[in-house]
Chain A
Amino acid sequence: MRILAVCGMGIGTSVLLKTNTERAIQELGLDADVEIADIGTARGAAMTADVVLTSSELAAELGDMGVPIVVVESFIDGAEIRDKLGAAVTG
């Protein structure tokens, strides 16, 4: 499985999101890789992704990506990321 973490510039918030998503993947026991994209390259990168993780502001900007978009409110809340990602991939 390929998970895409999207932020505005691809250097700051997405790195934080990637780190805490990788931890969530371990907790969920998923076989998945997390990649980073900025808002400009997200659409192309999402074509080969199974799930997109981003903030509510950027989710509104991205619109329909053709894959589930998980909106994360706190990029440092491991439980939130785990629960939302778990819900998105299982059902």
Chain B
Amino acid sequence: MGEASLRQLLPIEAIATGFQVADWRGAIRAAGELLVATGVSTAAYIEQMQDAVEEYGPYIVIAPGLALAHARPSPAVLCTGLSWAGLAAPVTFGHSRNDPVHLIVGLAATDHDGHSAALSRLARMLATPGRLEKLRSADDAERVHTLISEYEEDAT
């Protein structure tokens, strides 16, 4: 053990669905506000995540419909954590293949290592066939949280 589990890094308070946003900036803001609300980062981190897309392009759209919003470790990150923002209607990030996006996972990390086990578990969970579709169709935070908890229990 030692490393935080996915459930610890992504508490139910950091999960919300049904966000109405106008564009990709609003989508990142939604995920960022959940990080702020759960004490993971300050509001400055929201802009840092938006700036990262400006700087590196929409590569954070890592799979069809899914963006992993994040920026480098910075003083705006108070502790390592994740958030989960489901959108009511998808937005485009300008990605050549994976637009439009309807789910934003926000990531804030205090360093390059502390979160990697939980992130690896997230990667394996999302790569499990059918799991992302199931998570995407979950229409409230409790359902998302339950699905993630079930997965972690099965995996351990």
Tally inter-chain residue pairs, CB-CB below 8 A. 92
Check if B124 sits within 8 Å of A13, measured CB to CB: no
At the interface, is chain B mostly helix, strand, loop or mixed?
mixed
Check if B123 sits within 8 Å of A16, measured CB to CB: yes
B33: shortest Cβ distance to chain A, in Å?
18
Check if A20 sits within 8 Å of B123, measured CB to CB: yes
Residues 51-83 of A, flagged 1 when their CB comes within 8 A of B and 0 if not, give 000011110010000000000011111100000
Partner pick for A13 among B60, B64, B95, B97, CB 8 A cutoff: B60
Check if A11 sits within 8 Å of B72, measured CB to CB: yes
Take A11-B112, A39-B56 as given contacts and tell me if A73 and B98 are in contact as well, using a CB distance cutoff of 8 Å. yes
Check if A8 sits within 8 Å of B52, measured CB to CB: yes
Of the candidates B55, B58, B60, the one having the most CB atoms from chain A within 10 angstroms of its own CB is: B60
Residues 53-77 of B, flagged 1 when their CB comes within 8 A of A and 0 if not, give 0011111101110101011110000
- CB of A45 closer than 8 Å to a CB of B: no
Instruction: Kindly list chain B residues whose C-beta atoms are within 8 Å of the C-beta of A15.
Output: 115-116, 119-120, 123
Check if A76 sits within 8 Å of B62, measured CB to CB: yes
- CB of A28 closer than 8 Å to a CB of B: no
Q: Which residue of A has the minimal Cβ distance to B61?
A: A55
Cα A12 to Cα B62 with chains together (Å): 10
- Chain A interface bracket (under 10, 10 to 19, 20 to 34, 35 or more): 20 to 34
Take A56-B96, A73-B97, A76-B66 as given contacts and tell me if A12 and B124 are in contact as well, using a CB distance cutoff of 8 Å. no
- CB of B79 closer than 8 Å to a CB of A: no
For this complex, 29 residue pairs linking A to B, each with C-beta atoms less than 8 Å apart, are: A8-B52, A8-B55, A8-B56, A8-B60, A12-B68, A12-B109, A12-B119, A13-B68, A13-B70, A15-B115, A16-B62, A16-B120, A17-B62, A19-B119, A19-B120, A19-B123, A19-B127, A23-B124, A23-B127, A56-B59, A56-B96, A57-B58, A57-B96, A61-B57, A73-B97, A74-B63, A75-B123, A76-B127, A77-B127
- B-binding residues in A (CB < 8 A): 7-13, 15-20, 23, 39, 55-58, 61, 73-78
Instruction: For the A-B complex with A9-B72, A12-B119 known, give 5 more contacts whose Cβ atoms are closer than 8 Å.
Output: A11-B70, A12-B107, A16-B120, A76-B62, A76-B126
- A-binding residues in B (CB < 8 A): 52, 55-60, 62-64, 66, 68, 70-73, 95-98, 107, 109, 112, 115-116, 119-120, 122-124, 126-127, 132
